[in-house]
């Protein structure tokens, strides 16, 4: 309907202006875009594309919204295989190795031609580029990007006698303050938890934060080795276990990703670790005074980045690639990135976005919007290896096994490392 009406509108305007559309001069782009649920995100992207088309009359963009990151990748690749057009897509930043193994994407270094374009490629936050680089080239340009931040309920901080402007900055403080924030009823049942770190959905992502905070990374840049069995990594998992068992500031066992935000909004937990992508929703729905802070650290601060990058498909003509690059440049330009960040809570992808009036005013009015950016200096790449799906699942399973008490942290991690090593052997 939307596409059709857009077509009608375009045709209408064209006929009014007396323009006869010359088909051969136009470049058609098909872009796959991951949207889990329709609604606001779709509208925002649609609006940006319309603006792009009005500025670039020779390019028509057809955006196909395709479920979550997995769905978008599956659909885009299926379209390519069956010969249907697809020139670019936003896909999971950590799919880079898989997409390269499939020989599906081109490096942006091979598409840019002018010095201005090369400069543009250098204009992003370096931390956001980590998941987009391999073999010295850039394959993914950051767009829908996030980090994990700490949301906390300031009212509860006040009620517990804590300073609402001083959220915990170290692991020790986190446990200490968490204990003060736990509230029990007369029969000893917990009514309000100190904190919740989700351990379903994307356990490896949360774990990436804990390991970085303990000065460890989970894999090498080439994605051929994992370091799950390092003492510092095991220690990070033990700390996570302790939050539930020893310090009892979190429910023990696993914590559901999907319902966590509601738990926080309903006042069942004083602190939650969650994606910055939730910021706008929390802002609109929280009935209490809340704050957003960087995650606490042990030996250093840290969080992995997350989210989706732009990729350009190899199977497109030179004209299409140039047009796709134009679109990516437009979408990541300071003005658009700022608009996008304000509308969604995802990050502005480069420093220039935060220099725009839009974001300057927004950050002034709503300081939490800058926390994700400030945290970027402590950020690390999200777990991304060859055979990423499998390796991720080894780690996810190990984390859940440890948190539910099926295995000790050490056993679980040794096990995951063994499995990952044998899976990755073929790529070394």
For another protein, the binding residues (CB under 8 A) are: 70, 74, 98, 101-104, 187, 189, 193, 199-201, 251, 253-256, 258-259, 262-263, 266, 268-269, 387, 389-390, 392-393, 396-398, 400-401, 403-404, 406, 426
How far apart are alpha carbons 125 and 376 in whole angstroms?
8
Local structure of 356: helix, strand or coil: coil
**Least distance from another protein to the Cβ atom of residue 26, Å:** 31
Q: What is the DSSP string of 266-317?
A: TTSEEEEEEEGGGHHHHHHH-SS-EEEEPPPBSSS--EEEEEEEEEEESSS-
**Least distance from another protein to the Cβ atom of residue 343, Å:** 24
CB 134 within 8 A of CB 222: yes
How far apart are alpha carbons 178 and 160 in whole angstroms?
10
How far apart are alpha carbons 279 and 69 in whole angstroms?
20
CB 363 within 8 A of CB 345: no
How far apart are alpha carbons 360 and 266 in whole angstroms?
31
Q: From start to end of 189-242, where are the E strands?
A: 190-196
Which residues face 417 on adjacent strands? none
**Least distance from another protein to the Cβ atom of residue 387, Å:** 7
**Least distance from another protein to the Cβ atom of residue 344, Å:** 22
**Least distance from another protein to the Cβ atom of residue 258, Å:** 6
**Least distance from another protein to the Cβ atom of residue 398, Å:** 8
Quickly count: other Cβ atoms within 10 Å of residue 363's Cβ.
18
CB 403 within 8 A of CB 236: no
How far apart are alpha carbons 369 and 373 in whole angstroms?
8
User: Between residues 51 and 315, which has the closer beta carbon with respect to another protein?
Assistant: 315
User: Between residues 208 and 302, which has the closer beta carbon with respect to another protein?
Assistant: 208
Q: What would the two tokens of residue 392 be?
A: 């991720």
**Least distance from another protein to the Cβ atom of residue 35, Å:** 15
**Least distance from another protein to the Cβ atom of residue 120, Å:** 30
CB 422 within 8 A of CB 412: no
Sign, Cα dihedral of 20, 26, 29, 30:
positive
User: Between residues 269 and 333, which has the closer beta carbon with respect to another protein?
Assistant: 269
Local structure of 235: helix, strand or coil: helix
**Least distance from another protein to the Cβ atom of residue 41, Å:** 18
User: Between residues 101 and 377, which has the closer beta carbon with respect to another protein?
Assistant: 101
How far apart are alpha carbons 322 and 338 in whole angstroms?
24
User: Between residues 76 and 301, which has the closer beta carbon with respect to another protein?
Assistant: 76
């Amino acid at each position: 309907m939307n596409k059709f009406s857009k077509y009608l509108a375009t045709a209408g305007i064209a006929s009014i202006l007396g323009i006869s559309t010359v088909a051969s001069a136009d470049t058609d782009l098909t872009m796959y875009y991951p949207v889990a649920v329709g609604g606001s995100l779709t509208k925002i992207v649609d609006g940006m594309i319309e603006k792009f088309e009005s500025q670039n009359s020779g390019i028509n963009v057809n955006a196909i919204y395709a479920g979550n990151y997995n769905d978008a990748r599956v659909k885009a690749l299926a379209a390519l295989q069956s010969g249907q057009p697809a020139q670019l897509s936003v896909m999971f930043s950590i799919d880079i190795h898989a997409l390269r193994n499939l020989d599906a994407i081109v490096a942006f270094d091979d598409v840019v031609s002018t010095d201005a374009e090369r400069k543009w490629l250098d204009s992003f936050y370096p931390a956001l580029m980590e998941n987009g680089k391999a073999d010295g080239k850039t394959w993914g340009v950051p767009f829908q990007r996030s980090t994990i931040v700490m949301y906390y309920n300031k009212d509860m901080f006040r009620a517990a006698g804590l300073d609402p402007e001083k959220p915990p900055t170290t692991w020790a403080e986190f446990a200490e303050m968490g204990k003060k924030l736990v509230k029990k009823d007369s029969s000893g049942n917990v009514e309000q938890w100190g904190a919740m770190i989700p351990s379903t959905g994307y356990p490896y992502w949360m774990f990436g934060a804990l390991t970085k905070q303990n000065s460890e990374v989970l894999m090498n840049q080439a994605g051929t080795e994992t370091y799950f069995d390092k003492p510092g990594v095991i220690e990070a998992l033990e700390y996570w276990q302790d939050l539930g068992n020893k310090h009892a500031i979190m429910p023990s066992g696993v914590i559901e990703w999907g319902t966590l935000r509601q738990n926080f909004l309903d006042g069942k937990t004083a602190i939650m670790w969650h994606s910055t992508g939730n910021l706008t929703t929390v802002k609109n729905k929280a009935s209490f005074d809340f704050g957003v802070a960087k995650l606490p650290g042990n030996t250093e601060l840290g969080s992995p980045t997350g989210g989706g990058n732009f990729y350009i498909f190899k199977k497109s003509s030179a004209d299409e690639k140039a047009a796709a690059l134009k679109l990516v440049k437009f979408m990541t330009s300071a003005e658009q990135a700022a608009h996008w960040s304000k509308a969604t809570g995802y990050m502005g992808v480069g420093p220039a976005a935060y220099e725009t009036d839009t974001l300057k005013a927004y950050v002034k009015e709503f300081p939490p919007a800058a926390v994700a950016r400030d945290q970027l200096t402590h950020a690390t790449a999200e777990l991304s290896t060859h055979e990423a799906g499998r390796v991720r699942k080894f780690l996810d399973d190990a984390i859940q096994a440890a948190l539910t008490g099926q295995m000790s942290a050490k056993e679980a991690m040794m096990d995951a490392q063994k499995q990952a090593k044998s899976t990755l052997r073929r790529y070394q």
